[in-house]
Structure 1
Amino acid sequence: MTSAPDVDSDAPVRRVYSYLGPAGTFTEVALGQVPEARDQTWRPVRNVGEALGDVVEGRADAAMIAIENSIDGGVSTAQDALATMPGLRIVGEYLVPVSFVLVGRPGTRLEDVTLVAAHPVAYAQCLQWLTGALPEHAHLPAASNVASAVGLVDGTSDADAAIAPPGILDHHELELLAEDIGDNPNAVTRFVLVSRTVAPPSPTGADKTSLIAELPDDHPGALLELLEQFSTRGINLSLIESRPIGDALGRYRFVIDADGHVADERMADALLGLRRFSPKVTFLGSYPRADRAIVHYPDRYSDDVFVEARDWLRGLLSGEPEQ
């Protein structure tokens, strides 16, 4: 990470990237995977809303935010912010393996811990271990995994211990109370890089499209009708989650990740169908998958099939004889 450069009219302008800070968070690790972010200005912020607000208001060129975890599912604050803040576009995704340690002030013993500071997502991922090792503990929510531990150091936290990334011990003098406390050793968090609205990058064959859609009304089969926009075109959904819209009880929007790129004929056709069906569709972006896995689909859903079908219809309308 670099600090803001001195003012120099001849110096290249550094791009600014916002991320959930302070330094040492998993979000910073994810930002470190972005080649174009290296040697640029990294701006630590306190929450997802502030990170995305930096982008919308021009204080940052892009923001890295956590969007999904393999244990706890979608990050609701990020999903809701993307649904309600206009002018944003996901341009990339990154995966970070997740592990945790429990730390305390120097001299703290595990048996003395009754109040544990932790980011809510980290807390959920360590709950089984905490229940077994500290059955009578209470949870104190923290803004980030690093902030939970920093609060112990600077005296702003009332907690006895904190859940934090292992690297915290490289930056602060803390007592290691337990390590590898996550309930699943294979836990992974998915992060997305968000910029202002731009054209999607060119398709790679290993792409993902993210969007948010609302149902037109609440009737039997409404969700099935939404999903059919994808299934009838051979598109696999890697994520679908409901989030309350908030204007009335029982009203939900659906956060969707679909395999493929908006430039693919089948995906474009599906989005057109979805747009006709749903009163509100928010296109969040098409971007390369973090795992670079090529998207495979049956031949009947290839681009050539969709192009041929359109040409056939065009011929019907123009009076051309069928071949």
Structure 2
Amino acid sequence: MSPDAALGRCTFLGPSGTFTEAALRAVPGADAAELVPASSVPMALAAVRDGEADHAMVPIENSVEGGVSATLDDIASGEDLQILREELVRISFVLAGRPGVALADVRRVSTHTHAWAQVRGWMREHLPEAEYTPSGSTAAAAHALAEAARGAEPFDAAVCAPLVAEQTGLPVLARGIEDVSGAVTRFVLVGRPGPLPAMTGSDKTTLTVPLPDDHPGALREILDQFATRGINLSRIESRPTGSGLGKYFFSIDLEGHLAEERVGAAMAALHRIFPGVRFLGSYPRAEHRAVTVSRRTSDEAYRAGREWVRALRAR
């Protein structure tokens, strides 16, 4: 996605005040876009597939908890989608309580499952008896608490971003409750398939590779396609396909762009071995850290190899 491309109508995991919205607002042009909150990741992505939105911003990976399963599973199935860019957001949580409730009185806490995973240690130390109620997002939990009629609150406190507590007017019972300081969540901007963002030299490519049959060495067959071409993987996760026990696909991020010879060659080889491989996009890395490519796997080396073979065949 070019820096000056219009976002148009863009949906995100809502409601207002989520970390996902913060990631979306970091995208150039977001101020001029129509931002529409969605109640879940699948709903946000469905809006793009159905043509109700031009783009969607969704979480895909957390530095503490790993991949976001709702995103990984949804983009791996159904109508093709394409990742256009990524954004990184540093995560810090507060515990917001309903008015009149002290920290010692909290018995029920709600938040998103990934947020809960990042504050479990703090909860064990400070609120060991508290029960957890899952919510669609950190902001949704806070809004539900703020909007509930007095005496009908579904829980006593919510784990959310400091901004949400401020927006809802909920009192903050504790700040900085995350177990790992400096945790980061990675978000991706998703659209319908189209032209690839230009190669920058600091790029990432995302794909999924299904295993049509489980056999010894299946994972190595995948990894070999990258290793022999000097491609580093920044993330690889196995996810169930949902079609039965033992049925999995691999979700992979690699360093490089499809326009590079080595990446294209690896993708072609994977498609030959695993025809169900799904390309989900090549896009600039948020860190803008250049990828080092060895001479033997550079585009020049691939072109030289092709020319050598062409000359041999022309004898």
Same fold (TM over 0.5): yes
Deviations 1:90-134 (A, max 9, x none): 000000000000011111111111110011010001111011111
The partner residue of 1:123 within 96, 116, 129 is 116
Deviations 1:261-305 (A, max 9, x none): 000000001101111111310100000000011000211111101
Maintained 8 Å contact 1:215/1:226: no
Structure 1 residue runs of 5 or longer lacking an equivalent are 1-12
Maintained 8 Å contact 1:216/1:279: no
Residue in structure 1 matched with residue 70 of structure 2 by the alignment: 77
Residue in structure 1 matched with residue 30 of structure 2 by the alignment: 37
Residue in structure 1 matched with residue 51 of structure 2 by the alignment: 58
Structure 1 residue 157 displacement after superposition = 4.7
The partner residue of 2:99 within 106, 119, 139 is 106
| Matching of residue 97 in structure 1 with residue 90 in structure 2 | yes
Structure 1 residue 160 displacement after superposition = 0.8
For 1:174 and 1:100, locate their aligned partners in 2 and report how far apart those are by CA, in whole Å. 14
Other structure's SS at 2:76 match: helix
Structure 1 residue 243 displacement after superposition = 0.2
Using the size of structure 1 for normalisation, the TM-score is 0.93
Q: CA RMSD in A?
A: 1.2
Residue in structure 2 matched with residue 26 of structure 1 by the alignment: 19
The partner residue of 2:232 within 233, 236, 241 is 236
For 1:311 and 1:217, locate their aligned partners in 2 and report how far apart those are by CA, in whole Å. 37
Structure 1 residue 60 displacement after superposition = 0.7
Other structure's SS at 2:272 match: helix
Other structure's SS at 2:280 match: strand
For 1:14 and 1:79, locate their aligned partners in 2 and report how far apart those are by CA, in whole Å. 22
Change (3 A) 1:81 1:100: same
Other structure's SS at 1:315 match: helix
Structure 1 residue 176 displacement after superposition = 1.1
Structure 1 residue 29 displacement after superposition = 0.3
Select between 88-97 and 211-220 the one with higher mean Cα deviation. Answer: 211-220
For 2:248 and 2:218, locate their aligned partners in 1 and report how far apart those are by CA, in whole Å. 12
Structure 1 residue 169 displacement after superposition = 2.9
The letter of the residue matching 2:272 is: R
Structure 1 residue 313 displacement after superposition = 1.6
Maintained 8 Å contact 1:18/1:54: yes
Structure 1 residue 215 displacement after superposition = 2.2
